[in-house]
Structure formats: C-alpha cells, structure tokens
Amino acid sequence: MTIQLNTDHNITGSEKFKSVLEGQITDELSRFSEHITRVEVHLADENGNKGGLDDKRCTIAAGIEGKPTIAATNHANTYELAVSGAVHKLKSSLDKVLGRLKDH
C-alpha cells in the first residue's frame, strides 16, 4: 500500500509530521492492506492564515484492486483530527464495499 501525502500552499509539513500521519494511516487501514493499492491524502487549510473552527480539511482516497476509488472527507480544528475522522469514514466505506465482495 503506497501512501501519497499532498498539502496546499498554507501547510508547511515536516518529515516528522508526514511520518506520523503515514504511520497513523497505515495502522488504521492495515486490515484492508491486501485490497488497497494506494492511498492519497490531501490536506488543506481552508481559511489560510485566518483562524476558524473546523477549517482543516482532510480528503483520503483509497484505490482498490478492480473497484472504483473510495474517498472520504473530514473537517476539524487540527490536521490530526481531520485525518483521524477521514480515516474513520473511509474504513466504514471500505467495510461496506469489501463486505459486499465477500457476500458474492
């Protein structure tokens, strides 16, 4: 499973930040790893330098062998919470899609 992290111009992510997020995503999606070929993570600060509630956005898209890409988006006050929420939503979608595969 390949993880690609993309950020907008408002985010200055260090290698440590990237490593922590990749580790979190890998751990959370590990039970789906045999089905997922790639994961793309898009982080954005919707308000830029201005403050605001839930202005951090994370969109995660997972490519699955032989199936359309599944994506989930979450907004939060921090990037970590935005990623966590998006991963939770993605796991729910993956459970539904891969559960249907087992039923057939």
Superfamily, domain 2-103: Ribosome hibernation promotion factor-like (3.30.160.100)
Sequence ranges of the domains in the chain: 2-103
pLDDT digits (tens, 9 = 90+) for 11-67: 776 788 888 889 999 999 999 989 999 999 999 988 767 767 778 999 999 999 888
What H or E segment, with its residue span, contains residue 72? strand 70-76
Beta bridge partners of 19: none
Residue 60 DSSP one-character state: E
Strands 70-76 and 36-45: unpaired
Distance CA 76, CA 83 (A): 9
> What's this model's pTM, rounded to 2 decimal places?
0.85
Distance CA 65, CA 55 (A): 33
N- to C-terminal Cα separation, the chain = 25
